[in-house]
Structure 1
């Protein structure tokens, strides 16, 4: 039986998911199916979450803190609250293209690939959010590439 505290946590997770670009167009009832897949984990500053070349099998949502995405000593991005990383690993089990480390103490939600696959089999609408954000990122990367060539 679900207690009121667990129900509140489910509602909070749905609100967090809805606030993310990747899921902003996904209906709340579908997010309520995704929310139980979110596993909350705390990490200390400088924890290596994964290394470039590791096989990916999950994505992360930053609830609190900052995560540095890097290749060796080169910082590619510093991600903050309500940002997502590792989302490609929900769609395929390829190797990670960069490393991720906690820049501060962090609370992250992890969503694993297998339960996610089961969810998108039942709810294909969830996959639409992923496709949308991946297309946006690809367009942004293409624009950066064009701009750098024009310099």
Structure 2
């Protein structure tokens, strides 16, 4: 039997906020309460996405390839992408603090949602909002990275020749991104006439690159 707080956690979860009636009670019957100690693994990136978790208390750190993505608290869902896309986990979740999670197995979740087809509108809205937020976050990260790269190139350029002393691999390591990401931004700088890439990078337009670094 769930507590009132745990029941409220289900209805407050953004993914399930439109659930009601028979669907809601089916979910309540399917919930398993699990406790995790701080630093305990909850799900691992690449594992099958066969359960949905909802944070009932505590906080959960989400990472991908050792990059910190989010810190989730009540009443955030964990594992929603893998369940509905039928794909492996896209990230690793680790208990940041001692925490309690509500777990719903995929078959139980799908059975519940089929009871009230109109709740799929709420699920679709959740994913639309998630996709928009992710796109905006990516836009901000891309903008910040472009500025950081511009400043890094300026700081490592020879004052006389404009030649940059770092390789693309070294630039990627300093900025903690993939080399392909660095190449994409360098190509944009080259097309804008700010740098040349004959071998190593050399700055052609210091003022233009300085403006990029200030954006």
Q: Is the 8 A contact 1:10 1:32 kept in 2?
A: no
The alignment partner of 1:59 has SS state of strand
Runs of 5+ unmatched residues, structure 2: 144-214
Counterpart check, 1:36 vs 2:29:
yes
Distance between the aligned counterparts of 2:11 and 2:21, measured in 1?
7
Structure 1 counterpart of 2:124: 131
Q: CA deviation at 1:117?
A: 1.8
The alignment partner of 1:60 has SS state of strand
Per-residue CA deviation, residues 69-88 of structure 1 (Å, 9 max, x unaligned), is 00132210010121111112
Q: Is the 8 A contact 2:36 2:99 kept in 1?
A: yes
Counterpart check, 1:62 vs 2:55:
yes
Q: Which protein shows a greater Rg?
A: 2
| Count of residues in correspondence between the two structures | 144
Distance between the aligned counterparts of 2:69 and 2:140, measured in 1?
17
Structure 2 counterpart of 1:80: 73
Distance between the aligned counterparts of 1:148 and 1:47, measured in 2?
29
Counterpart check, 1:116 vs 2:131:
no
Counterpart check, 1:53 vs 2:46:
yes
- More strand, by proportion: 1
Q: CA deviation at 1:45?
A: 0.9
Distance between the aligned counterparts of 1:139 and 1:86, measured in 2?
18
Choose between structure 1 and 2 for higher RCO, CA contacts under 8 A separated by at least 6 residues.
Answer: 1
Residues 26 and 118 of structure 1: is their aligned pair in 2 closer, same or farther, counting only changes over 3 Å? Answer: closer
Root-mean-square deviation over aligned CA pairs: 2.1
Work out which of the residue numbers 135, 138, 142 in structure 2 matches 1:145: 138
Structure 2 counterpart of 1:95: 88
Distance between the aligned counterparts of 2:68 and 2:42, measured in 1?
15
TM-score (norm 1): 0.83
Per-residue CA deviation, residues 92-145 of structure 1 (Å, 9 max, x unaligned), is 331111111101111100111111122222222333322111110101122233
Q: Is the 8 A contact 1:20 1:83 kept in 2?
A: yes
Runs of 5+ unmatched residues, structure 1: 1-5
